[in-house]
Every structure is written in structure tokens, then in C-alpha cells.
Structure 1
Amino acid sequence: MKTNPFTSSIFENTWSKHFNGGKDLVAFEFIKGLKFVKNSPNGIYVNAGRNLTKGLYYDLDLTKSDYKGKTFLIYDVPSYFDLEEFNAASNSSLRLKTVFQYQGFLMDITSFNSQDEYINSQFSSKNRREFRSNQRRLETCFDIDYSFIHGAISQVEFDALFKHFYALLSKRFADKQTNYHHLSARKWSYYKDLVFRMLQEKKASLLVISKTNTPIGITLNFHAEDILFETITVFDPDYYKFSIGKTSIIKLLEWCFENNYRISDFSKGDFSYKHKWSNLVYDFHYHILYDSKSIMSRLRAQYAVSYYKLKLYLREKKVNELYRKYKFFITGGHKEKDDKAYESYRFEKMNDFNPSEDYESVDFELEMYRFLRQFVYTFMFANPESIKNIKVFKNKVKNEFVISGSKRSQKIIFD
């Protein structure tokens, strides 16, 4: 791999600035393509970026011996990167241990001519009609714009966009009542710094789906020469009926075909949509390189193997999911009170609705009525028409609302 974004100077320097105090990273002659930082508590050298990369590639030069007495941990080496198989040389004491950690998922589009051809190979005609219908309904109901930012962007425009990105992610994981580690102040500051710099050099991109100039879906990607790494994706849960996530994948596929990319990599994280869209499942391994003639190096290597096997075991038992939910609550995470107050509701069918003096018109786009949006958008999905035609009325006495379109209406009664 010639242009891995996760070993670029921008990536390494930005990571060091935020997580290594800006100190110089350490390079070794025996290993090409990677730089390291020494983990003080256990004395192991860890790759720059640690687990914030989406895949690392490296070459070994066994004629060099500056690994002597040391142990090295390399996170996230994908099996499909086809590193040269490690064979211990007779004149070298360098050895390798590998530990499986995650499965990864990707779309290999090398043998396909278009996104339609690839989608046809993965999905039934019923599924394909659903994709087209969802996108058509989205565009019928709202003023939708698709933009792929892959190059220079002003700081002002970027800051505004990343603010929306943060808000969408915060809303998404608050609804799931789960802590999302990328939203910590330190990591988000890192991403904001990194992505702006990497956009300028086309090592990163942002796919943005906007409704009337307001982002409702954003995907952050990093780029190798012909691989797109889909890194963080989010969409506004109020629009979940419209399946914006599927539309995002289709738009990314379109871009990959238009720009001669051969792989769109979903990376690690076991989600049902990845199984459905991917045509290749691969493994992420952690590589541990050590000096077999050094007792301390061997002990450190064995410690690392045992530690990450334990982490894998706990992850398979879903302990990490419980931990994220626990952390969500102890760090002050919660649903908004207004959202909780309107969790219990029922619908009532209406053939016609003519607002009487008991009802007053309300603007459901106002923040005070944000709890209504998911109901309004779901109604619109079932009855597609422009949002300009949709009105919402509130009963002045009872806790009920009416969503009214040009042809149909629906009453929501909150308990």
C-alpha cells in the first residue's frame, strides 16, 4: 500500500499532538512504514495512532537488528492487505505473534462495472425496489442535496459542518443510551483537527445529505489510492423511515465507481447492514513483534497476547456494551425530559380534518416541538408529499396533535 492515510505525516503528527504531547515518534530500521511511541507502563512500543486507524501495512527488513530487547504492538492489521508472510530468518531473533480481535467487512467492486450491477448481485429485486422507493420518497418530501467534500474547504464552512456532525452523533447515541467514545472532548478535538487537514490533501472526505441546507446524514471517510475507508457514519434518527443509511452507501458506491476505487471498506464493527452489503469478510489481527532472545521481550509479548485475548473474550460476552451503557449514565447521559414525557402515545385514524376553534396551528420545526418531528416524518413517509403541504395542529385542551397533509390526516394522542 503506497498511500495509507493512517501512516501519513498528517495523521501521525496530529495524533501525536493530541495523544502524545506532540513528542517525536520513533522509527526503526527493521520495520518500514510505521512509527511508534513507547508505552511507559509495560515498555511495549505501540504504533502511532494506536486503535484509531482503520488498517495498517508494514514491511520488515530482517537484516536490521534495532528491535533487539524490544517488543512492538501493531493494532488493526487487516488480512486482506496481504502482508508478506512472516518467516523467521535463521540469523534473526525477531518473532511474530498474532491475535485475532475483530471481523471487518468490505465491498470489493473490482469485478463490477457499476453500482447497480453490484447491488443486483447482493440484493433481491424487492430490496432494490425498496431502496429506490425510500430515496424517491425522501426527495419528494424534502429539498434534498447530496454533496461529497473531497478537497479544499474553508475553515468556517468546515467548523459549521463538524458542529452538525457532533450534534447528530450526540443525538443518535443519546437515543441509544450508549456512550460513544469518539464524542469525548479529546477525541473530537483530534478528529476536528485531523479531518480538516486531511480534506485539503484529499486523504479524507465527507458525504453529506442535507435537507434545506441542514445536514441530516454525514459519513466520514479516509482514502488510500483505491480504497475508501468508511469511518464514522450517522443520520438523524427522526428520518429513520427513509433509510438514509442505505442511501448513503449507494451514494458512496456511485462515487467509488466514478473515481476508479476498487474497495469500499466498512472496517470493524459487527452490524447487520455490513453483512448485507459486503461481499468480503476479513479479519483484523493485532501483531506483536518481539526479540526471542530477550526474556523481557518474550514476557511483554506474552502479556500483550493474554491481555488482548481477554479483551476479545469480554467483547464476545457483550461486557463492552454493558460498560458503554453504564458509562453513558455515570457521565451524565440522559434523554431530554420532553422526549421522555412523550414516549407513551397512540394513533387515531382520521378520514377528514377541518380544524375547529379547539385547535391551533403549531410550527413543528421549532425546538419546543422537536418530539413531534419523528411522527411528522413517519406520516410523510407513508403519505409522500412536500413538507410545504404539511401542517400540525395542537388541541388547546387535550394533549393531542393532528398531522394534516393535502390528502390525509392523523391524530396523535399522548398519554
Structure 2
Amino acid sequence: MKLKLFSIRTIDFYTSVFEKHYVPQVLESIFLFDSPLNLRIVTENQLDATSHILELIPNYLELSFNSELHPTKTLVKPGLAISLKKELTSVEDYLKSECSSNFRKVITRSISRLELSFDISYRTFFGHISKEECEELMHLLKEMIRKRFTQRSGRNKALKDWGYFVNLAYNGINNKSASLFVIYDYGMPIQISLNYNLDDILVGSVSSYDLDYSKFSLGNIGLYKEIEWSIDNNIKLFDIGFGDFAYKRRWANLVYDFETFYISQKKNVLHQLYFLWHEKKSKLMYYLISKGFNNVYYDTVSRLTGRHKTHKELKFEIIEANTIKFSKDEIDIESNASCFFKKILCDYAYSNKERFGDLKVYAAIENKNIFWVKGRQSEARVRLNN
């Protein structure tokens, strides 16, 4: 964006470098761990502006500016990353080196339970994907995000410009500037992550999972497998971005700062005043977001405009129901009429170490909210609570 009144250009560094793979013309080079990144210098005439604001710069990168420019910087918000520059031969090496023993046990249990209960496979698309498969996976990812944020009564900015991400994924995967990681259950995607690839850096962009499998910690399993892929492919840094979520903290071994650089070719009082205003505004916006004011705002707007819809999760409890009679006809869980029951069975499979495919469900004859769940090793009478 160019502010014509003051001849100031604002540049989103994160988008320019990680999504578009170019260096803004105000820079000469960028380094990661003393190694220069392979980027092209943008050819558009950015130096028509006498001053620049370079936003969202992760300070694990070292920047080299054109000599005639005079940058000053300010810290805006923190980000989290996984540094893999140590000699690591496996993801287990990383877990032992950087994570607590309790967390390692949680991850091992989650993977073991997932692979015990379902027919699980993993795939990373990097270097080739067909247009049809990419569009199908991105459509499923969009639906996962939509359902997840409906459940949380939240908002995801990526959904507003989804076509951009679809094109970025297809073109990026085929030219090795992006990758798509997928967890499948019997060929059906249940967790999808879109990442950007730049030399030795992997950057997490958009990810989500099927809510029916939430008991299995698919977010953590996805990160585990992405770190495994990163080590196998000589990635030195996996940037898991801003948003200080608890699960990210447990994985990250590098907390960095996003910086904003204010750059001018010569002293200009109006520019300096604008820089000061921009800095104060950015810090205020981050403070409000960190306190959840943005969610309150968008939730209020949704309620006022009638768009507020939340997903009410079904819960169940184990009951004593020895005298209740059940139908002899097994319920088809895969049918649309019974699809609401899938999450309950996923939770049951996790808690009782059962194969999902071995579970059979029978309905009570006189009570529509009571069911008999039967597996190979366990059985229970359950009541749904709406």
C-alpha cells in the first residue's frame, strides 16, 4: 500500500518473502543462521517512495538494507518456531532434547491410539499434485476450518479469500514453494496442513482437522509428523507462527519477535510523526487482540447481523441399563442419519483402545437417547445428553 500524501509505502514482509518469494527492493539480502536465502529482488519501483514501513519481520532472520536507507525498528508481537539446526536424526531426538517426558508420553499415546483405532496413513505433497486433488483437499480443509470456528463461535481470516490459498497451494506445491501435509483415515483426509517452503525454512500457514477425531490430538500428531518430514528434508527452522496457543508452546524451542522497520532515505518530520502513530497503533491492536477483544467484536457483529451460529456438541455418559431392551438391528454409523454419532464412537474407541471398525451400535427400543455400544474388548450402555 502506498500513502501518497507522505510518499510512504507499507510492505507486508511475511507475505512478500514466504508466500511470494521476493525481497522488497529496500533490502539487499536476507540471512538465516548466517546463510543467505535464495530470493529474487522485486522489480516494481518501490523506491519511488521516500519512506517505507516493513511489517511482520521475524527476527530470526538477519536483514541487510541498502546503504542509503536509515532503518529504525520496534517489536510488535511474539512468534513461535522450532529450530532444527542441531544434529538430529529423528523426531524422537527432538522430543528428547526439547520436550518434557510427560509431553513425550502424551504424543506417543496419541499416535498409538490413533493408529490402533483407525487405518491411518500420512502423506506430504511437495513437488507434484494434480489440480483436482489439490482442489479437493483444499475444499476439505476449508470445511474443517469452517466447522471448527463455528463450534468455537470464532472467525478465520483465511476463509475470506480462500481462492487465493487454493491457487497458492497448487502452484506452490508444484514449484516446491509450498507443501500440503495430510493424515488419512482409510483414505479420507482427517487433518490437513498447508505450509510454505523457502530454502531451509518451513512456515505453517493454514491447518485444521476433523472434529470427530479431536480426542486423538490431531494437531499435535500433525506437528510431530511435520517435524519428522522437516528433519528428513534438511529443514533448519519450522516457523509455527504467531498465536500463542498452549500446544504450540509445548513444541517450540524458539520464541522470536515480529519486528516492524521504519525506513527513510532522509529525515522528514511528517514521516517521523506518521511512523510514531503507526507504531502506537500497531502495539495497541496487538494488545487488544492478545486480550481477545477482536473475538468479542466479531462475535457481537455476528449476533447483531443474525449470522451467529454455534455448533452444539453431543456428549454421552455411561449408564447402568441392564433392564433396557435394545433392537437387534445394528445402526449404520456411516449413514447420514447416524453421522452425529461418529464423534461419540471415536471418543469411545480412544478411551477403550478399540478399533473403530469393530464397534457396533444398537438403539434402545423405548428410549431414543440410549444406545448399546459393543466392541471386541468392551461394551457399554450410553445415554446421549443434548
TM-score, normalised to structure 1, is 0.78
Q: State the match for 2:318 in structure 1.
A: 347
Task: Give the count of matched residue pairs.
Answer: 363
Aligned match for 1:221, one of 195, 201, 207: 195
Q: State the match for 1:47 in structure 2.
A: 11
Distance 1:162 1:302 in 2: 40
Distance 1:99 1:412 in 2: 56
Q: State the match for 2:342 in structure 1.
A: 373
2:2–2:9 Cα contact (<8 Å) kept: yes
Which piece of structure 1 moves more, 127-136 or 277-286?
Answer: 127-136
* Displacement after TM superposition at 1:160 (Å): 1.0
1:109–1:263 Cα contact (<8 Å) kept: yes
Q: State the match for 1:134 in structure 2.
A: 110
Aligned match for 1:364, one of 325, 333, 336: 333
1:38 and 2:7 equivalent?
Answer: no
1:252 and 2:222 equivalent?
Answer: no
Q: State the match for 1:165 in structure 2.
A: 141
Distance 1:48 1:126 in 2: 39
Q: Equivalences for 1:72-91 in 2 at 5 Å? A: 72-84=52-64
Partner deviation per Cα, 1:295-324 (whole Å, 9 max, x = no partner): 433333233223212212322432123224
Partner deviation per Cα, 1:160-195 (whole Å, 9 max, x = no partner): 1111111111111111110111112xx111111111
* Displacement after TM superposition at 1:67 (Å): 4.8
Letter in 2 for 1:166: K
SS at match of 1:198: helix
Distance 2:366 2:140 in 1: 36
* Displacement after TM superposition at 1:411 (Å): 2.4
1:69–1:296 Cα contact (<8 Å) kept: no
Structure 1: segments with no counterpart, 5+ residues: 1-36
Which piece of structure 1 moves more, 103-112 or 312-321?
Answer: 312-321
* Displacement after TM superposition at 1:80 (Å): 0.8
Distance 2:17 2:154 in 1: 22
Distance 1:331 1:101 in 2: 34
Distance 1:174 1:313 in 2: 25
Letter in 2 for 1:369: S
Structure 2: segments with no counterpart, 5+ residues: 29-44
1:102–1:269 Cα contact (<8 Å) kept: no
Which piece of structure 1 moves more, 299-308 or 155-164?
Answer: 299-308
Q: Equivalences for 1:221-300 in 2 at 5 Å? A: 221-300=195-274
| RMSD over equivalenced CA pairs, Å | 2.9
Distance 1:106 1:100 in 2: 17
1:403 and 2:373 equivalent?
Answer: yes
Distance 2:62 2:49 in 1: 28
* Displacement after TM superposition at 1:291 (Å): 4.6
Distance 1:169 1:298 in 2: 41
Letter in 1 for 2:333: F
Partner deviation per Cα, 1:82-133 (whole Å, 9 max, x = no partner): 224x79x7xx5x4434232221111111113221111001233343233222
Shift in alpha-carbon separation, 1:393–1:81, aligned structure 2, 3 A: same
Q: State the match for 1:14 in structure 2.
A: none
Q: State the match for 2:32 in structure 1.
A: none
TM-score, normalised to structure 2, is 0.84
* Displacement after TM superposition at 1:242 (Å): 1.2
Q: State the match for 1:308 in structure 2.
A: 282
* Displacement after TM superposition at 1:246 (Å): 1.6
Identity across matched positions, percent: 26
* Displacement after TM superposition at 1:387 (Å): 2.1
* Displacement after TM superposition at 1:326 (Å): 3.0
Q: State the match for 2:121 in structure 1.
A: 145
Shift in alpha-carbon separation, 1:362–1:273, aligned structure 2, 3 A: same
